[in-house]
């Protein structure tokens, strides 16, 4: 009975979480609340585009122009349906938007039906080609503005202006200038503009991994992870926040969106953190930091790893191998911050009696992990392409989820459970339908499951609107860069401006990534910065994987960097806190992720490059200690409040002990031990914790 009570309580909380998540996400992302005809149209298009990508990933892609133009056509149409031009059109689709929907379909599908003829007349575009190209460029800018905000379209407009004013610019920025005809032809009729690499990755594996995450989430993996992690960590000091860190990291790895992850997991974890005594802004800040860093976490990395394959040519298994240690260390730091926050404020954990037992909870839904295992097996062992691996991962998720639900239903029916008890087992059942025996039939379970699956396909496509629009917009920037030759000069400009200093070049790259990343999807900001700046880093001798991970880290960290950080606004909406303070706290809790990229650039051993097993073991031990010391320094508390010099010492020694150099490690560890000893004395505690003394005595 107690277990059923816990399940009922968790189910109710999960339902409320979904409602809060949808409300906050619609508010932050300015979505329309569609009803009636347009809601049906949006649903049909969304399901259609997901089915199209699912089919082509399994049975063969179309020609690149066809795949990309059809992908962009459907998602741009959805953008004009789902997102209003301004707040006055929040809940209706006005005539002007219907007109824009038509133009977006015509201008993109024109490429779908005419790309063969256009290729034959390359460099000699007809008037209709130019009209359609001009419309496509303008509509991409507007769709991007609506779905993710103004920053990226503004940057794109600056680059478009740059294409015209080149002859009037000084020094290395100057170029011969291009006509409108030449610019439109390059951006629309080649694979170096709107239909270039960014929309190419969006139309293939990025879509499939977003769909994979959506299918997993719809199958119930989110609730399973939350239940399991809370059952294992909820009773510890500050347990709800620790559980939030782990859950958000795992879900962020799958979803690839800081905002989506914040509102989905945060709508469940933030209220529990507040109940246990965390301030609203602190709870929101923890969720922001943990949700953001999920995109660094292998093996999925929010699809970033697969885009990196496209840009670097480095195999998938080497990318996730390199990304593993820094990602784990960033979570060690957040975990330590949460623990110390609970320690210094005297917060306790949840009552163990109110939590489900850990191992039964873990085993009860272990089947949820099968699709992830299938995905990793396909990628790492069989070495299939990311696209094919995502396809098989989704197939595994569908088969496993349906089989599990039918098994659970059969078990419930065999036990003679009542209607209410069956509904508590997370089965996709319509509660208004009931069979003659008082139980649901297996056919109803199957029908409801496929209804749920279609809902996942709908959500997957709608989650791709902003990503596809941003990738097409990024294609405009990259097109101008290739047309003007700016890309070849950008590396020289950065290196010259930095005086050849690796450190200054990294600092410029950090600020560029943070600024260009404000409010943009991870995919778009990584593509833009990798195109413009990565060559400058590699020319200075920085390993390719280190350069691209450096760019990815700061592009992702823009999501929790004030004042824009949209993830903080989402978390504050759930926590009912102040978005600016939530953003500042999220930034503070995530500061470890700001220093780790500098460390692994200077010391590539952290990326498992040219490192022996014993060096790696020593690196992990010292870095873990260093990250906890960093957490203590950030929180200004170890075992009691730290003096200013102790705090500064903890931060410095933390960095030294995290740097994979033996001399620095020894200095860092010695400093941390000294401050540890002083803090234990100041708090009137023995040198060793009591549980260690008891172990040694026994």
Answer yes or no: are the C-beta atoms of 497 and 511 closer than 8 Å. no
C-alpha–C-alpha distance, residues 54 and 67, integer Å? 12
Answer yes or no: are the C-beta atoms of 54 and 391 closer than 8 Å. yes
Judged by DSSP in three states, 503 sits in: helix
540: in domain: no
664: in domain: yes
Alpha helices in 517-661 (DSSP H): 522-532, 534-539, 544-557, 566-575, 579-589, 592-602, 613-635, 644-658
Among 672, 665, 655, 673, which Cα is nearest to 619's?
A: 665
Count of Cβ atoms closer than 10 Å to residue 618 Cβ:
16
Predicted confidence at residue 355, as pLDDT, reads: 82
155: in domain: no
671: in domain: yes
Q: DSSP string of 7-40?
A: HHHHHHHHHHHHHHHHHHHHHHHT-----HHHHH
Predicted confidence at residue 419, as pLDDT, reads: 54
Helix crossing, 316-345 with 304-312: angle to 10°? 140
Judged by DSSP in three states, 637 sits in: strand
206: in domain: no
| Residue ranges in the chain modelled with pLDDT below 50 | 1-12, 14, 427-439
Task: Give the global pTM.
Answer: 0.84
Alpha helices in 234-351 (DSSP H): 239-255, 258-275, 280-293, 304-312, 316-345
C-alpha–C-alpha distance, residues 596 and 204, integer Å? 31
Number of folded domains in the chain? 1
Task: Give the angle 650-655-661 at the CA atoms, nearest 5°.
Answer: 130
Q: DSSP string of 126-152?
A: -HHHHHHHHHHHHHHHHHHHHHH-SHH
363: in domain: no
Answer yes or no: are the C-beta atoms of 194 and 475 closer than 8 Å. yes
- Taking CA atoms, 394 is separated from 30, 106, 209, 213, 399, in Å, by 29, 32, 9, 9, 9
504: in domain: no
621: in domain: yes
Predicted confidence at residue 61, as pLDDT, reads: 92
C-alpha–C-alpha distance, residues 190 and 9, integer Å? 56
**Domain span at residue 633?**
611-698
């Amino acid at each position: 009975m107690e277990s059923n009570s816990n399940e009922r309580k968790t189910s109710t909380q999960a339902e409320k979480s979904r409602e809060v998540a949808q409300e906050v996400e619609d508010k932050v992302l300015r979505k329309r609340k569609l009803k009636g005809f347009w809601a049906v149209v949006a649903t049909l298009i969304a399901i259609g585009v997901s089915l199209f990508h699912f089919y082509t990933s399994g049975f063969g892609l179309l020609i690149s122009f066809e795949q990309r133009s059809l992908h962009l056509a459907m998602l741009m149409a959805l953008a004009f349906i789902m997102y209003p031009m301004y707040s006055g059109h929040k809940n209706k689709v006005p005539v002007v938007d219907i007109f824009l929907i038509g133009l977006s379909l015509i201008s993109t599908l024109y490429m779908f039906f005419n790309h063969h003829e256009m290729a034959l007349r390359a460099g000699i575009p007809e008037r209709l080609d130019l009209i359609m190209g001009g419309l496509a460029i303008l509509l991409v800018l507007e769709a991007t503005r609506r779905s993710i905000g103004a920053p990226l379209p503004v940057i794109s407009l600056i680059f478009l202006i740059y294409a015209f004013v080149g002859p009037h610019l000084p020094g290395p920025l100057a170029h011969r200038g291009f006509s409108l005809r030449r610019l439109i032809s390059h951006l629309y009729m080649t694979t170096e503009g709107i239909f270039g690499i960014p929309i190419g990755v969006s139309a293939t594996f990025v879509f499939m991994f977003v769909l994979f995450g959506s299918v997993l989430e719809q199958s119930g993996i989110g609730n399973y992870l939350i239940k399991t992690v809370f059952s294992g960590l909820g009773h510890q000091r500050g347990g709800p926040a620790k559980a939030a860190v782990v859950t958000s990291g795992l879900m962020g790895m799958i979803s690839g969106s800081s905002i989506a992850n914040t509102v989905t997991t945060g709508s469940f974890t933030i209220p529990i953190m507040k109940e246990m005594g965390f301030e609203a802004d602190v709870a929101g800040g923890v969720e922001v930091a943990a949700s953001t860093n999920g995109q660094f976490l292998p093996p999925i990395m929010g699809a970033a790893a697969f885009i990196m394959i496209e840009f670097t040519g480095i195999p998938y298994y080497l990318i996730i191998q390199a990304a593993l240690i820094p990602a784990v260390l960033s979570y060690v730091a957040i975990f330590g911050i949460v623990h110390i926050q609970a320690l210094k404020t005297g917060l306790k954990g949840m009552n163990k009696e109110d939590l489900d037992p850990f191992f039964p909870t873990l085993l009860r839904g272990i089947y949820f992990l099968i699709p992830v295992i299938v995905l990793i097996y396909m990628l790492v062992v069989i070495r299939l392409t990311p696209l094919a691996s995502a396809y098989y991962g989704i197939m595994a998720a569908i088969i496993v989820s349906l089989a599990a639900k039918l098994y659970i239903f059969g078990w419930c029916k065999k036990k003679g459970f009542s209607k209410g008890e069956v509904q508590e087992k997370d089965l996709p059942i319509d509660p208004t339908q009931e069979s003659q025996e008082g139980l649901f039939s297996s056919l109803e379970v199957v029908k409801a499951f496929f209804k749920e699956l279609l809902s996942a396909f709908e959500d997957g496509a709608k989650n791709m609107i902003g990503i596809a629009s941003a990738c097409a917009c990024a294609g405009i920037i990259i097109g101008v860069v290739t047309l003007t030759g700016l890309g070849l000069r950008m590396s020289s400009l950065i290196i010259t401006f930095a005086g050849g200093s690796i450190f200054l070049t990294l600092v410029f790259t950090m600020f560029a990534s943070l600024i260009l990343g404000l409010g943009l999807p991870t995919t778009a900001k990584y593509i833009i910065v990798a195109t413009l700046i990565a060559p400058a880093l590699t020319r200075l001798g920085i390993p390719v994987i280190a350069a691209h991970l450096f760019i990815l880290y700061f592009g992702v960290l823009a999501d929790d960097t004030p004042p824009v950080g949209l993830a903080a606004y989402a978390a504050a909406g759930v926590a009912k806190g102040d978005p600016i303070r939530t953003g500042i706290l999220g930034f503070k809790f995530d500061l470890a992720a700001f220093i780790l990229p500098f460390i692994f650039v200077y010391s590539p051993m952290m990326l498992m490059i040219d490192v022996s097993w014993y060096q790696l073991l020593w690196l992990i031990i010292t870095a873990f200690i260093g990250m906890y010391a960093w957490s203590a320094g950030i929180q200004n508390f170890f075992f009691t409040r730290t003096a200013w010099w102790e705090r500064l010492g903890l931060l410095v020694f933390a960095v030294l002990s995290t740097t994979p150099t033996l001399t620095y490690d020894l200095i860092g560890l010695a400093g941390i031990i000294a401050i540890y000893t002083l803090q234990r004395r100041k708090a009137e505690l023995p040198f060793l914790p009591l549980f260690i003394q008891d172990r040694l005595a026994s």
